[in-house]
Amino acid sequence: MAVAIGERKRRAVRGELSEVALRLLTDRAFDSLTIEEIAAAAGVSRRTFFRYFASKEDVVFAFLDRWAVLLAADIVARPADEDPVAAVQNSFRQLTAAYNDRALALVRLVRETPSLQERERINREHLRIAVVNALATRLGLDSERDMRPQILATIAFAPLDAAMFAWFGNRAGEEIGRLLDEALDTFVRERDAMCAGLESSTKPQRRPRQPGRQ
């Protein structure tokens, strides 16, 4: 039986398709580029394209997905004694530092294409879930029953989100690492005011029963 060592060839074709599509996308808008053209430029048929990518968006995220996987893996692999929230920060800092120009151009493309933004949102959600599970594992908690991993993940992402948002917005020129520094600084300096306000205003309204589980 020809049991398909074609796994190697399959990768090659997939890479070629990505390559061609990304090259075409430097000139054209994502929506105006049809799969017909991508397939033709790569020398395969439209039908074959769909055997390698489930959708037009996939051909762009073939790169970006890898980045997210890398980040998640790095977070999980960090030393167990490191603070979980800090671990997320450090992994992020490390991977953004290694960002090459091509990935940066891709991020730009995603930012100005609605259908790609959707995929990015899904990616972020997956990443978040991965982080939640990683944090739960570190703390020895069940993320299905205990809310702490969820809360911790949100806290960890807060400075990241703020930095990314500023970068995507009107501060694209600045370095992402510096923006993250600023976001962390803001977070640390403002935390007392935040928590104080939250505490004083919600507690008198309704006394939450103490959750029984430890």
- Indicate whether 117 belongs to the interface with DNA (CB under 7 A): no
Position among 11, 28, 51, 178 found at the interface with DNA (CB under 7 A): 51
Position among 50, 85, 90, 95 found at the interface with DNA (CB under 7 A): 50
Contacts 24+ apart (CB under 8 A), 190-196: none
- Indicate whether 9 belongs to the interface with its own copies (CB under 8 A): no
Binding mask 63-82 for its own copies (x = CB under 8 A): -------------------x
Query: Which among 60, 65, 54, 66 is positioned nearest to 25, based on CA atoms?
Result: 60
Residue 164: partners with Cβ closer than 8 Å, 6 or more residues away: 176
Are residues 71 and 123 in contact, defined by beta-carbon separation less than 8 angstroms? no
Q: Residue 1 binds what, of DNA, its own copies, none (CB under 5 to 8 Å, by partner type)?
A: DNA
Alpha carbon distances (Å) from 119 to 8, 25, 150, 174, 188: 27, 17, 22, 25, 31
- Indicate whether 168 belongs to the interface with its own copies (CB under 8 A): no
Position among 20, 21, 25, 56 found at the interface with DNA (CB under 7 A): 56
Position among 5, 80, 98, 193 found at the interface with DNA (CB under 7 A): 5
Question: For tokens 């990935």, what's the residue?
Answer: 103
Over its C-alpha atoms, the chain yields an Rg (Å, rounded) of 21
Position among 147, 172, 174, 175 found at the interface with its own copies (CB under 8 A): 147
- What DSSP assignment string belongs to 22-59? HHHTTTS-TTT--HHHHHHHHTS-HHHHHHH-SSHHHH
Residues at the site binding its own copies, with contacts judged by CB under 8 A: 82-86, 89-90, 118, 121-122, 125, 144, 147-148, 150-152, 154-155, 157-159, 161-163, 165-166, 169-170, 178, 181-188, 190-191, 194-195, 197-202, 205-206, 208-211
